[in-house]
Amino acid sequence: MRNKRILKITVVLAALWVMNLSSALAGTLFIGNTTQCAQSTCTALGTGSVAGEGIGIAANTLTIYDQGSASNDAQAPLLLLLAVPNAGSTYTPPSISVVSTTGLGAWTGTLGGSDVYGGTWNSTTGFAGTFNSASGGSVYNVAGFSKDGGGSSENWTNLSTLDSQLGVNASSFAVFVYTLNGSSNVSLAQTQYLTIDFSGDLTKGTFAMAYGCESGNLTSSACSPVGKIFATPFTHVGDASTVVPEPATGMLTGLGLLFGATALASLGLVTKPA
């Protein structure tokens, strides 16, 4: 009972933390998966000290969902960051294609691209740097974002702990950046999302998160103030793994088996235990 009570308290605190983060930012960018939760409503991956954290994504696709306020749009370009476990600067991430939702027009995705919003990475390879236990800060800081807007939850302890629960023993993460641009420089509004398809599978345990600025911010400078930033909290970061089924799916399956067995028994096709 005590463990269940602690787990409930942890989940509640995590939810309150996300609410506080959302109020401090222009908006949050949730990572989801196309199979069950394009709007990132899947069951969380983490347990124990990271209970309620992380969203399971498939190895070759994910979604970026704008969970901002109705008055704040995330302008193009948006950035997708990958933290690849036990990889180096010579690792080559897969290329991507972007599928936009109705009304967004055409979007493109490029590995690397020009530095924007005060960040720094290789314009060709997208490599931003290495993140490990000695780095301090978060994955966002590796990419040059000194003001991560509360994305400090993407820290070493959280990443390495969640990956260890997936059987991935990470000694470091190589951080790569993709640039996402919309036609006519359109923005991503509340409840809209983009689908990102990868040309190859991501390494198991790869984390995905997004970053952006509120419409009207100069791309040549950092998002300022912090309230202009769009970022991904660790509760909604994507982790390449086996996608976690939603509880409702398992419940419906169980009910279906129960009713099926009852029907067979009523027809005399299954013998009831004495």
Taking the domains of the chain in order of start, what are their residue ranges?
2-243
pLDDT of residue 236: 92
**116: amino acid identity, one letter:** V
Q: What does 21-76 look like in DSSP terms, one character per residue?
A: HHHHSSEEEEEEBTTTBTTS-SPB---GGGTT--EEE-SSEEEEEE---TT--EES
- Return the sign of the alpha-carbon dihedral for residues 43, 175, 30, 186: negative
* Separation CA 16–CA 172 (nearest Å): 30
**241: amino acid identity, one letter:** S
Query: pLDDT under 50 in the chain at which residues?
Result: 2-23, 243-274
Q: In a 3-state reduction of DSSP, which class is residue 196? A: strand
- Residues 164-173 as b or e (16 or more Cβ within 10 Å = b): ebbebebebb
pLDDT of residue 18: 40
pLDDT of residue 254: 40
pLDDT of residue 147: 63
Please give the torsion angle defined by the CA atoms of residues 181, 95, 99 and 113, in that order, rounded to the nearest 10 degrees.
0
| Phi, psi of 48, rounded to the nearest 5 degrees | 60, -125
Query: Residue 93 gets which letter from DSSP?
Result: P
pLDDT of residue 26: 63
